[in-house]
Structure 1
C-alpha cells in the first residue's frame, strides 16, 4: 500500500512540476510599455483605430510623450505611420513582448477593415528574445505613435528638427533627445538583411527577427547617450 501511495505521489508531483514549467514557457511575464497616445477616442472617425489618433493634434501628442519620457528618465521613440500600416501594428505587438499568436485587425489605405490571425512557430530561445525585447523597450523608451495621413503629423515631425519630406518608408522609427529633438533613425526594416519575417511554419506571416530589432534599438539608445 505504501509503495502504491509513493508511486501516486511521485506521479502527481511530476505532473505538477511539468505543468508549472509549461505554464512558465507559455505565459512569461511582460513589462508595461509607456506610450502616447494612451487612449484612442472611439468617436474618432470609424472608431477602429488601435494605435494612432487620427483626430487630434499630433504636436501635443508628441509633447506629452517628451514630458512623460522626462518624468520616467527615458527617451521618446517615434513610430511614424498610420492605422493602414500593418508593419506598425506588428512592431507594437513585438514591443509588448507578444509571441506565437497574433490577432490583427486594421484599416487599410482604402478604408477597408482587415482581420488576420497569424500563428508563429517559436522556440524557447525566441520566447526569451521576445521578453528581452519587451524589457528593453519598457526600460528605455516612451513610444510615440505619430499619425501620418489625417492629421498634422508632418508638422509634429518637423518640430523635432527633422525634415519630414525625407520620410519615404513606414514605419519611420527614430529617437529624440531629452529636449524632444531628433537624434537618429532606424534604417528601413526591409533594407536590413533577414530583419523582416514573412513566413512561419509554412504559413504567410509578418514579423521581425527580434535579435536584430533589439540590436537596432540599442544603437538608437547609444546615439541618445552620445548627444
Structure 2
C-alpha cells in the first residue's frame, strides 16, 4: 500500500511538473514524426502580443484627426491668417493616425472640457500628419524635424505670425497610460498668447 501511495505521489508530482513545464514549453513535431521536440515559448512575447491586440482595439475606437492627403504647407498658411485675425497662437500636434499616443492626446483634450476650452480660447489647432503616405518632409524640416528627436506626438507652437516659439516633447505630459491634467494645462497655459 505504501508503495502504491509513493507511486501515486510520484505520478502526481510528475503530472504537476508537466503542467508547469507545459506552460513554458510547446511541442513541435519533427517532419518525420519520429520524436517531439520541445521549444521554449517566451511569455514576454505572448504578453507583448496581448498588449498589441488591446492597443489595436483601443486605436480602432479613437477618432482619427490626421489627414495624410492634406496640403500641410497651405493649411498652415491659412492657420497663420486665422491666428492673426483671432489673436491666437498656433498649436501643431505632429503625429499620425498610426500613433496611439497621438490619438489618446487628441481624445483627452477633446473630452476634457477644461482643456478643450483652454485650447479653443488660445490656439488655432492643427494635426500635422507624418506617415509613410505623407511624411510632410518640407514642413518638418522647417521646424527642425522634432519627431526624429522626440518621437510622436510632438508639439510645435507658433505665434500668430507663424514664428516657431516652442517645441514640446509629449513624454513629459504623460501620466501612466494617458496624460496628466495638470501637466497638460501647464503646457497649454505656458504658450498661450501674451495679452
Please give the per-residue CA displacement for 1:138-180, whole angstroms capped at 9, x wherever unaligned.
Answer: 1001111111122252312334xx2116543100112101221
| In 2: Cα distance, 1:211 partner to 1:133 partner | 10
Residue 151 (str. 1) matches residue 121 (str. 2): no
What residue in structure 1 maps to residue 98 of structure 2?
Answer: 84
What residue in structure 2 maps to residue 71 of structure 1?
Answer: 85
Which has more radius of gyration? 2
* Superposition CA RMSD, Å: 2.4
Deviation at 1:56, TM superposition (A): 3.0
For residues 122-137 of structure 1, the aligned pairs below 5 Å read 130-137=112-119
Is the 2:157–2:166 contact (alpha carbons within 8 Å) kept by the matching residues of 1? yes
Please give the per-residue CA displacement for 1:173-217, whole angstroms capped at 9, x wherever unaligned.
Answer: 12101221211122332x45xx3232xxxxxxxx21111110111
Residue 217 (str. 1) matches residue 188 (str. 2): yes
SS in 2 for 1:145: strand
| In 2: Cα distance, 1:225 partner to 1:158 partner | 27
| In 1: Cα distance, 2:66 partner to 2:124 partner | 15
Query: In structure 2, do the counterparts of structure 1 residues 167 and 153 end up closer, same or farther at CA, with 3 Å as the change threshold?
Result: farther
What residue in structure 2 maps to residue 93 of structure 1?
Answer: 107
| In 2: Cα distance, 1:145 partner to 1:156 partner | 12
Select the structure that is richer in helix.
2
What residue in structure 2 maps to residue 34 of structure 1?
Answer: none
TM-score scaled by length of structure 2:
0.60
Is the 1:58–1:152 contact (alpha carbons within 8 Å) kept by the matching residues of 2? no
| In 2: Cα distance, 1:184 partner to 1:151 partner | 24
What residue in structure 2 maps to residue 181 of structure 1?
Answer: 163
| In 2: Cα distance, 1:87 partner to 1:186 partner | 14
| In 1: Cα distance, 2:80 partner to 2:169 partner | 23
What residue in structure 2 maps to residue 196 of structure 1?
Answer: 175
Is the 1:75–1:140 contact (alpha carbons within 8 Å) kept by the matching residues of 2? yes
TM-score scaled by length of structure 1:
0.52
Residue 164 (str. 1) matches residue 145 (str. 2): yes
After TM superposition, where is structure 1 displaced by more than 3 Å over at least 4 residues in a row? 165-168
| In 2: Cα distance, 1:167 partner to 1:188 partner | 12
Unaligned runs of 5+ in 2: 1-62
Please give the per-residue CA displacement for 1:4-34, whole angstroms capped at 9, x wherever unaligned.
Answer: xxxxxxxxxxxxxxxxxxxxxxxxxxxxxxx
SS in 1 for 2:69: coil
